[in-house]
Structure formats: structure tokens, C-alpha cells
């Protein structure tokens, strides 16, 4: 029967496809990405008039007018809620008409602080006739609630704004939801970083992992060691991040509830450091003579640790977050092996010919430096692989391999009682033809062998955008909306978001929202947005 006619076969396939599309159509497209833990909406619809719309502080709220985080969020979200309306929030006179108030109350006055690893992002949002109320423990939770509210508002064909009666109770599944940008392989202008922070807030990401320096360039302008950037950046004036640039990034992140986590990766990935800090890198030997090339940081010299103590003292005062990323990945031993002074140091220390012991010794010293500065260290998984005895509060960052490999690693590290952060499945600098967001969406971070206690040690996940082939020209479309797939995985309930086909129309809709907000997010597949990107 299968062979009776080709026309019949294709007609059948066509029918199956249209059935799938029909089934998707039956599910309502909820207008919020990432999906809240609980969202109940009704067909009761309220029209919003931008000239009679106000964000107000609840009478019982611990934060009141003057709260920098919320005052500035009200301005931003007014424009996001009413994208066609040209006056800014607060520029309006009192207009006639019944006002719609969004009343915000928080339990803590953390308006001038920074979000941290323990900050609650929980919020409840109730939209009903004539008003909405948003309650959160912290201002950071209130920010997440404002984002959700902004995504609930929609326009009809005539441009009028509406919101439906809705109840939302929401909190993140994982505390740590990060994006890594690499500003060493290509320099990213500050405005590109700020724009990324804007887009991160739309997907409720809360950590910007700033892989600020690496082999190719050292753009961080240090107060203590200015030569690092004047000799190690691609250009000493135009391709650097000054102290005021860094402060802008930190402040822009803070106002969006985003932590800024700097990474100063060593002892490998440090070629550019050597230009401005002679004596820091290991001279490689060819036979009995220095070859003129340099390898990783020289772990055998006391001057190395004095320099690192100075650098991290500065870094820990510039970046307010309590975490610092110390790298520790991909150390090539061949240069250390070639150097007679390093080999002599190995003998003196009783390391024999085991260079992993030397590397462990180095990392332990660096971790001790940051601990003495009251910072928690994050290191790439390599450090655990050769040194299981690093301080227990260090977070291991898993970046290697396919699921079978990273599940094994998750299992092994959490069994040792250490916290982990998963990046391996979200290396989105890798691109391919088709809908690879589906792969990022269907990751199951906790699907490894381990007890409930072990699973609690997974603090979250990270999307990595390494910079070999990425600069300001293509960063945004390569990041969005692909990173948003991971954002939902890290924020939302796993069971409610287990169907990738149901996610598809919602993500398409969210991508159109990103375009509307000026984020040049690439398309997922064939289709159109009501408001196409205007190319500006
Ligand atoms: C909002 O209300 C309108 C009008 O009743 C209805 O068509 C639409 O499905 C509702 N949306 C949601 C998400 O409930």
C-alpha cells in the first residue's frame, strides 16, 4: 500500500504536519519568556492609556521614591510597555481618565546595594481591574516582575494597549544564570556590552561573566599596573576599558539586577599580560637556551605571587561582586618542562616530574589570595581534575564535553561536596545551520547520577560566547534569541517547559519583542514579526 502512488504518500505527510501545527495552535501562546512558575491569565481585558498610567510605591514598601533601582526601572519599563508612545515617563501632565496604577512593594530597602548570590528574585504580580500589584522580597525581584508585566502588555491592530487579568507567582529555578562575553579576542565597545546587559534583563539573566583578558589582548586598564593595557591591549587608547568604563558596566548591570563577574584567567591564557609585566611569564627553552618565546605565568617565582596579590587586590575593590573567576584552564606544560629553573623548583618542592602538582600549587596560591580578600573563587573544571583538594567553597565551572562527559563530571564534583556551574552545553559561539536553540532548550542540568543533596550543589548555568569569530558586528544576532532558550531552561519549571515544540511559537513571539526593543535578534525560522527590524 505504501507504494501505490507518490502523491498519496506526500498528501499523508502533509496531513501529519498540519495536524502538528493545529495542535500547537490550540495551546495559548503565553506572552512571557522565560515562562513564569505559575501564570493564570483570563480573557478579561483592560485597556491601558499611557497618559494615565503610573508606577507607584506601595505604602508598606521598604523602598520609597528616591530608590535608584526602582525609579530608573519605572522610566525604562514605561517605554517598554508603551513602545509607540514618544513622551517619557514623568513628562506627562495630569490627564483625564481613570488612572491605571502598578503598585510595587518590596520587603527590603536594598536600593543602593548590589545583587548577590543570595538575592531573592521571587515576585508576585496581580493584574486586575484598574490596577496591578507587584510584591517582592527585594528590588531585584521587583525588577523581574516589571519585566514580566511589560511582556503581558500587547497592542491591537489600531495600536491600543491592553493587559489581561493575570496572576503570576514566580521565582527562578537556578540562582546563577549567566552570559559570558570575551573582550580579549575582539574588543567590544562599552555600548555593545551595555546593550547586551539590556537584552539579558529581558530574558532574566542575572550574571555577566566578563572574560575581560586573555592571550590576544589585555584591555582592562589597571590603576596599579597601567602597562598591562598600555602594552597588552590591541590599542592603548581606543581598545581599553578605563576605570570609568568598568564603573558604567557595573552600574548598568546593578540597575538591572545583573552581577558583574570578572575573570582574570591564569596561569595559561596570559600571553598579553607578558607585554606589560616583564618577568611574569615563563621563558621557554629550546635545548639549553631561552627560545625567545613565553609560556604560562611563571609559578616558581615569588615575584609572580606579589604581582598577583596586587592585581587581585585592585580587582576585588573595583568589582563589588563577592565572586572572582580565576580561570585555571588549558595549561600547556611544555614550556614549564623546557625551563631549567622551573624544573629545579619542582625538585625543591618535591613535585617530581608531575606538572599537575605545580599547577595545583599555583592555583592554590591564587585562590588563597582571593580568599584573603573575602572573595569566593570560581575556576574552570580543569582545576578540580588535577587538584581535588582546593578550598571547599570554590565553585567549579564545567565547560568540557558532551552530556555523557559533563554528567560524569557533575556527579564527581558534587560528590566531593563542591558547587558547580554548568556551561558545557551552552557554548553558543558554535553555530550551525538550522534550529540549534532546540539543543540549548532541551538540556537537563540535573539529569546526572547523584543524591538530592548533590543536585542542590548545581548553582546554575552559563551561556558562553567566545570571541574568536565575534565582535560588535555579529554579537547581538548570534546571542539572541539563542541564549534565551537557555534562559528559560535556567529560570522556569522543568516539567512545564519540557516540550520544545510548544516553546517554539512562544520563542518566536519573544524574538519579535526583542526586535521591537531594538535588539537585533536573528529569526528562528520562516515567518514574520508585526514590527520588523528597522535596520537602525
Ligand atoms: C486576553 O483577552 C483577550 C480578549 O478576551 C483574549 O482574546 C485573549 O486570549 C486573552 N489572552 C490571554 C493570554 O489570556
Pocket lining: 164 vs ligand 1, CB cutoff 6 Å: yes
Judge whether 511 and 480 are in contact, CB under 8 Å. Answer: yes
Cα 98 off chain centre by: 40
**Residue entry with cell 596586587:** 310
| pTM: predicted TM-score of the whole model, two decimal places | 0.93
> From the CA of 136, how far away is ligand 1's center (Å)?
26
Q: Is 453 a catalytic residue?
A: no
**Residue entry with cell 546526572:** 448
> From the CA of 165, how far away is ligand 1's center (Å)?
9
Residue of the CA atom closest to atom 8 of ligand 1: 43
Judge whether 478 and 470 are in contact, CB under 8 Å. Answer: yes
Residue of the CA atom closest to atom 5 of ligand 1: 43
C-alpha cell of residue 310: 596586587
Tell me the C-alpha distance between 362 and 300, whole Å: 9
Tell me the C-alpha distance between 461 and 471, whole Å: 23
Q: Is the peptide bond before 267 cis (omega within 30 degrees of 0)?
A: yes
In this structure, the chain runs to a length of 536
Residue/partner pairs of 452-456 with CB below 8 Å, 24 or more apart: 454/411, 454/414, 454/415, 455/414
Judge whether 61 and 108 are in contact, CB under 8 Å. Answer: no
Judge whether 266 and 282 are in contact, CB under 8 Å. Answer: no
Residue span(s) of the chain under CATH 3.20.20.80 come to 176-498
Q: What angle do CA 26, 497, 148 make, to 5 degrees?
A: 85
Pocket lining: 6 vs ligand 1, CB cutoff 6 Å: no
Pocket lining: 41 vs ligand 1, CB cutoff 6 Å: yes
pLDDT in tens, 202-232: 999 999 999 999 999 999 999 999 999 999 9
Q: Which residues have a Cβ under 8 Å from the Cβ of 38 and sit 6 or more positions away? A: 167, 168, 169, 170
Give the relative orientation of helices 355-372 and 340-349 as an angle to the nearest 10 degrees.
80
The H-or-E segment that residue 336 falls in is helix 334-338
Residue span(s) of the chain under CATH 3.30.379.10 come to 31-170
Q: What is the DSSP string of 410-469?
A: HHHHHHTT-EEEE-GGGBTT---SS-THHHHHT--TT-SS--HHHHHTEEEEEEEE-STT
Pocket lining: 28 vs ligand 1, CB cutoff 6 Å: yes
Considering the domain 176-498 in this protein, what is its CATH number?
3.20.20.80
Q: pLDDT tens digits, the chain, 536 residues: what are they?
A: 333 333 333 333 333 333 333 333 333 445 899 999 999 999 999 999 999 999 999 999 999 999 999 999 999 999 999 999 877 776 655 566 789 999 999 999 999 999 999 999 999 999 999 899 999 999 999 999 999 999 999 999 999 999 999 999 999 999 999 999 999 999 999 999 999 999 999 999 999 999 999 999 999 999 999 999 999 999 999 999 999 999 999 999 999 999 999 999 999 999 999 999 999 999 999 999 999 999 999 999 999 999 999 999 999 999 999 999 999 999 999 999 999 999 999 999 999 999 999 999 999 999 999 999 999 999 999 999 887 778 889 999 999 999 999 999 999 999 999 999 999 999 999 999 999 999 999 999 999 999 999 999 999 999 999 999 999 999 999 999 999 999 999 999 999 999 999 999 999 999 999 999 999 999 999 999 999 998 76
Q: Is 527 helix (H, G, I), strand (E, B) or coil?
A: coil
For the chain, count helices (H), then strands (E). 18, 17
Tell me the β-bridge partners of 166. Answer: 41, 127
The H-or-E segment that residue 127 falls in is strand 123-128
Substitution site in 32, 45, 163, 168 for ligand 1 pocket (most atoms within 8 Å of beta carbon): 45
Choosing from 44, 330, 388, 453, the catalytic residue is: 330
CATH architecture label of 31-170: 2-Layer Sandwich (3.30)
Tell me the C-alpha distance between 157 and 146, whole Å: 24
Amino acid at each position: 500500500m505504501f507504494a501505490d502512488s507518490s502523491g498519496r504518500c506526500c498528501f499523508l505527510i502533509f496531513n501529519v504536519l498540519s495536524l502538528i501545527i493545529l495542535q500547537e495552535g490550540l495551546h495559548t501562546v503565553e506572552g512571557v519568556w522565560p515562562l513564569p512558575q505559575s501564570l493564570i491569565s483570563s480573557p478579561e481585558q483592560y485597556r491601558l492609556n499611557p497618559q494615565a498610567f503610573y508606577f507607584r510605591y506601595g505604602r508598606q514598601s521598604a523602598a520609597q521614591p528616591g530608590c535608584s533601582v526602582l525609579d530608573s526601572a519605572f522610566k525604562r519599563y514605561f517605554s517598554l510597555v508603551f513602545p509607540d508612545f514618544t513622551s517619557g515617563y514623568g513628562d506627562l501632565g495630569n490627564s483625564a481618565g481613570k488612572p491605571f496604577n502598578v503598585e510595587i512593594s518590596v520587603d527590603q530597602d536594598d536600593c543602593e546595594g548590589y545583587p548577590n548570590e543570595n538575592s531573592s528574585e521571587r515576585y508576585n504580580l496581580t493584574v486586575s481591574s484598574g490596577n496591578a500589584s507587584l510584591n517582592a522580597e527585594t528590588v531585584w525581584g521587583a525588577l523581574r516582575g516589571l519585566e514580566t508585566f511589560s511582556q503581558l502588555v500587547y497592542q491591537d491592530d489600531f495600536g491600543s494597549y491592553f493587559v489581561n487579568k493575570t496572576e503570576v507567582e514566580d521565582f527562578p529555578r537556578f540562582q546563577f544564570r549567566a552570559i559570558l562575553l570575551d573582550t580579549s579576542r575582539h574588543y567590544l565597545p562599552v555600548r555593545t556590552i551595555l546593550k547586551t546587559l539590556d537584552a539579558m534583563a529581558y530574558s532574566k539573566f542575572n550574571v555577566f561573566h566578563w572574560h575581560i583578558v586573555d592571550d590576544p589582548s589585555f584591555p582592562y586598564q589597571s590603576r596599579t599596573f597601567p602597562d598591562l593595557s598600555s602594552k597588552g591591549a590591541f590599542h592603548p587608547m581606543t581598545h581599553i576599558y578605563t576605570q570609568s568604563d568598568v564603573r558604567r558596566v557595573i552600574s548598568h548591570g546593578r540597575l538591572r539586577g545583573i552581577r558583574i563577574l570578572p575573570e582574570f584567567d591564569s596561569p595559561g591564557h596570559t600571553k598579553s599580560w607578558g607585554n606589560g609585566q616583564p618577568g611574569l611569564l615563563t621563558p621557554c627553552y629550546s635545548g639549553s637556551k631561552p627560545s625567545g618565546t613565553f609560556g604560562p605565568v611563571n609559578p616558581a617565582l615569588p615575584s609572580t605571587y606579589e604581582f598577583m596579590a596586587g592585581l587581585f587586590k585592585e580587582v576585588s575593590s573595583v568589582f563589588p561582586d563577592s565572586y572572582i573567576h580565576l580561570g585555571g584552564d588549558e595549561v600547556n606544560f611544555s614550556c614549564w618542562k623546557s625551563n631549567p629553573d622551573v624544573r629545579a623548583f619542582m625538585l625543591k618542592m618535591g613535585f617530581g616530574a608531575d606538572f599537575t602538582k605545580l599547577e595545583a600549587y599555583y592555583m592554590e596560591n591564587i585562590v588563597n589570595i582571593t580568599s584573603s580578600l573575602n572573595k569566593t573563587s570560581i575556576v574552570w573544571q580543569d582545576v578540580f581534575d588535577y587538584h581535588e583538594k582546593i578550598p571547599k567553597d570554590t565553585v567549579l565551572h564545567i565547560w568540557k564535553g558532551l552530556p555523557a562527559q559533563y554528567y560524569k563530571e557533575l556527579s564527581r564534583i558534587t560528590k566531593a561536596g563542591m558547587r558547580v556551574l554548568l556551561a558545557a552545553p551552552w557554548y553558543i559561539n558554535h553555530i550551525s545551520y538550522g534550529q540549534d536553540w532546540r539543543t540549548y532548550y532541551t538540556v537537563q542540568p540535573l539529569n546526572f547520577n547523584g543524591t538530592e543533596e548533590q543536585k542542590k550543589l548545581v548553582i546554575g548555568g552559563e551561556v558562553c560566547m567566545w570571541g574568536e569569530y565575534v565582535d560588535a558586528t555579529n554579537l547581538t544576532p548570534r546571542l539572541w534569541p539563542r541564549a534565551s532558550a537557555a534562559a528559560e531552561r535556567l529560570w522556569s519549571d522543568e516539567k512545564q517547559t519540557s516540550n520544545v515544540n510548544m516553546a517554539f511559537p512562544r520563542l518566536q513571539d519573544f524574538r519579535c519583542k526583542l526586535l521591537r526593543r531594538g535588539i537585533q535578534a536573528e529569526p528562528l525560522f520562516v515567518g514574520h514579526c508585526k514590527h520588523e527590524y528597522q535596520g537602525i
